[in-house]
């Protein structure tokens, strides 16, 4: 198969057959408060019971719930007897199935998405107003209630007026550990109820060499240099009411045949926890209506995670954001230095200027983000003309992205084991630089130089540029690369910090 056609189909055509949901998952306590009681059955066994059967897990079935409760009881007893837990699974819920089973950096090279703005909303508003005016008997004095306008806008195609922009850059990929995302709402504040839930062994995360921090509610690693391969043992959970829609897309269907898939019915978080329990994994948040965790088991859970982090040389529960408040990770501040989305928006404005040169003076990024000015532009050019231009621009962006993504994939193939180790070790020195707050002892010129080098190291989409930046960073830190034969303990730099 032509690789360019394959990439285009995977990233672009899937939106035609899939509807992405924007539902916010309620918290664990809220779920338990509003969920109607289910008929209880008794299940008692001394061994962990299988809950899923032939690739299907029914989280609403009374017998499944009884098995889940029994599994939890066994797992808690085992944890108390051993004083620890040893089984950990990374969980990531996503609306996108990772291309070729690899978690990659979110960047202009790996993803584009249709984005709305004041500009697209104004277009919809104009169309909706016209429709309402045409349906009114009073053409001369007509005031449209806001509710009517809102309802008319909802009837329009949700993609109308949207433009393709790069996905927002993020240097890290985040997971939960032994915990459904829906039960971490007070921490993550993100949408759940996504299309795919991918559960993998944590060893894959820990052995990557790029892990930063881990906690049950948030474990993350750097993916700007190398992606994280999803192991062949990973399992994908898909909601029963979404399965047919997903499998109607041949690209998803073909890829899903390469992993074990479990279709579930019922609450997403409960289904995830049931799956964990039947695989001998103690859920961190099982739901109080299924079992109550006393202080002893909570302490075992926390200490087990602390030990896992300590034994693998990564941070424990280091929040990604708020680095200026000394609570976050250095990578977060550099994510904010990326302006690819703003640059893409400027590119779109320039495209409109080239299409409508007579109105070039009125077209500006500021105008496109301001509803009043945007309204004037749309009035001057006309809705149909604008929509045709957007369609042309989106096609151009798609074509460029296919080439850009393939270039990115080819470039990542040039990473040798030696380069990989340089990248990983450089990240360790950057982490040490921020952990020890060394900027406090440097002049502004040196700080600016180091920050720019780190920015290039984190943001560049070319391995060669990242490698040069890594060498300069280490040189600035007083570290030199040494030959392979002189390396010990898998460290390929001489420490002279």
CA 475 to chain CA mean position, Å: 33
Distance CA 15, CA 23 (A): 18
User: Using CA atoms in the order 301, 302, 308, 311, what is the torsion angle rounded to 10 degrees?
Assistant: -130
What pLDDT does residue 301 have?
98
pLDDT in tens, the chain (497 residues): 444 455 555 555 544 433 333 333 344 454 455 455 556 788 888 999 999 999 999 999 999 999 999 999 999 999 999 999 999 999 999 998 999 999 999 999 999 999 988 888 888 888 888 888 777 654 544 555 667 778 888 888 889 999 999 999 999 999 999 999 988 876 665 667 789 999 999 999 999 999 999 999 999 999 999 999 999 999 999 999 999 999 999 999 999 999 999 999 999 999 999 999 999 999 999 999 999 999 999 999 999 999 999 999 999 998 887 655 456 788 888 998 999 999 999 999 999 999 999 998 888 877 777 777 888 888 899 999 999 999 999 999 999 999 999 999 999 999 999 999 999 999 999 998 988 888 889 999 999 999 999 999 999 999 999 999 999 999 888 775 444 443 434 333 333 33
| Cα four-point dihedral sign 469, 473, 476, 478 | negative
Both tokens assigned to 302: 């926390």
Both tokens assigned to 19: 């509807």
DSSP 312: T
For every residue of 48-87, DSSP letters joined together read: PPP--BTTEEETT-HHHHHHHHHHHHHHHHHHHHHTS---
For every residue of 80-121, DSSP letters joined together read: HHHTS----EEEEEESSPPGGGEE--BSTTT-EEEE--HHHH
Instruction: Give Cβ neighbours of residue 68 (< 8 Å, ≥ 6 apart).
Output: 51, 270, 273, 274, 277, 290
Distance CA 101, CA 331 (A): 24
For every residue of 317-383, DSSP letters joined together read: S--SS-GGGTSS-HHHHHHTT--HHHHHHHHHHHHHHHH-GGGGGG--HHHHH-HHHHHHHHHHH-H
By the 8 A CB rule, do 78 and 53 touch? no
Containing 439, the helix (H) or strand (E) segment is none
Distance CA 294, CA 370 (A): 54
Q: Which residue has the tokens 């952990």?
A: 435
Containing 289, the helix (H) or strand (E) segment is none
Distance CA 72, CA 55 (A): 21
- For residue 112, list its beta bridge partners: 166
Q: Which residue has the tokens 């690789």?
A: 3
Q: Which residue has the tokens 């109550």?
A: 292
Distance CA 310, CA 288 (A): 30
**pTM across the whole model:** 0.84
What pLDDT does residue 43 have?
86
Q: Break the chain into its structural domains and give their ranges.
A: 24-109+169-316, 117-161+339-410, 414-494
Distance CA 97, CA 259 (A): 12
By the 8 A CB rule, do 11 and 112 touch? yes
């Amino acid at each position: 198969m032509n690789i360019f056609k394959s990439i285009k189909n995977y990233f672009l055509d899937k939106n035609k057959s899939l509807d992405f949901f924007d539902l916010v998952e309620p918290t664990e306590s809220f779920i338990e408060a509003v969920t109607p009681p289910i008929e209880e059955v008794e299940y008692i066994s001394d061994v962990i019971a299988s809950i899923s059967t032939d690739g299907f897990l029914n989280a609403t079935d009374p017998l499944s719930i009884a098995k889940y409760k029994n599994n939890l009881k066994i797992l808690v007893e085992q944890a108390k007897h051993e004083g620890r837990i040893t089984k950990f699974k990374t969980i990531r819920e996503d609306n996108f199935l990772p291309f070729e089973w690899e978690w990659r950096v979110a960047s202009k090279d790996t993803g584009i998405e249709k984005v709305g703005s004041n500009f697209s909303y104004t277009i919809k508003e104009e169309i909706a107003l016209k429709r309402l005016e045409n349906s009114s008997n009073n053409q001369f004095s007509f005031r449209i209630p806001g509710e009517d306008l809102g309802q008319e806008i909802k009837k329009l195609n949700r993609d109308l007026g949207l433009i393709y922009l790069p996905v927002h850059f993020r240097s890290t990929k985040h997971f939960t550990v032994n915990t459904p995302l829906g039960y971490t709402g007070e921490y993550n504040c993100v949408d759940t109820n996504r299309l795919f839930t991918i559960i993998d062994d944590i060893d894959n995360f820990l052995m990557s060499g790029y892990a930063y921090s881990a906690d049950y509610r948030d474990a993350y690693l750097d993916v700007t240099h190398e992606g994280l391969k999803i192991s062949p043992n990973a399992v994908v959970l898909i909601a029963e009411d979404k399965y047919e829609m997903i499998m109607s897309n041949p690209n998803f269907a073909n890829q899903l045949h390469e992993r074990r898939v479990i279709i579930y019915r019922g609450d997403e978080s409960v289904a995830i926890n049931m799956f964990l329990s039947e695989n001998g994994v103690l859920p961190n948040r099982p739901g109080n209506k299924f079992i109550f965790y006393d202080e002893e088991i909570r302490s075992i859970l926390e200490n087990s995670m602390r030990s896992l982090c300590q034994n693998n040389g990564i941070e424990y529960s280091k929040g990604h954001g708020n680095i200026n408040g000394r609570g976050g990770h250095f990578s977060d501040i550099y994510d904010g230095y990326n302006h690819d989305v703003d640059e893409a928006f400027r590119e779109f404005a320039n495209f409109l200027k080239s299409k409508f040169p007579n109105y070039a003076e009125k077209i500006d990024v500021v105008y496109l983000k301001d509803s009043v000015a945007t309204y004037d532009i749309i009035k001057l050019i006309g809705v149909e003309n604008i929509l045709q231009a957007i369609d042309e621009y989106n096609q151009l962006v798609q074509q460029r992205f296919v080439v850009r993504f393939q270039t990115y994939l080819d470039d990542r193939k040039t990473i040798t084991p030696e380069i990989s180790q340089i990248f990983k070790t450089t990240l360790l020195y950057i982490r040490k630089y921020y952990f020890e707050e060394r900027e406090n002892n440097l002049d502004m010129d040196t700080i600016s130089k180091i920050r720019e080098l780190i920015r290039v190291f984190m943001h560049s989409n070319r391995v060669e540029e990242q490698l040069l930046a890594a060498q300069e960073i280490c040189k600035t830190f007083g570290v030199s690369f040494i030959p392979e034969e002189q390396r010990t303990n898998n460290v390929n730099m001489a420490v002279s910090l």
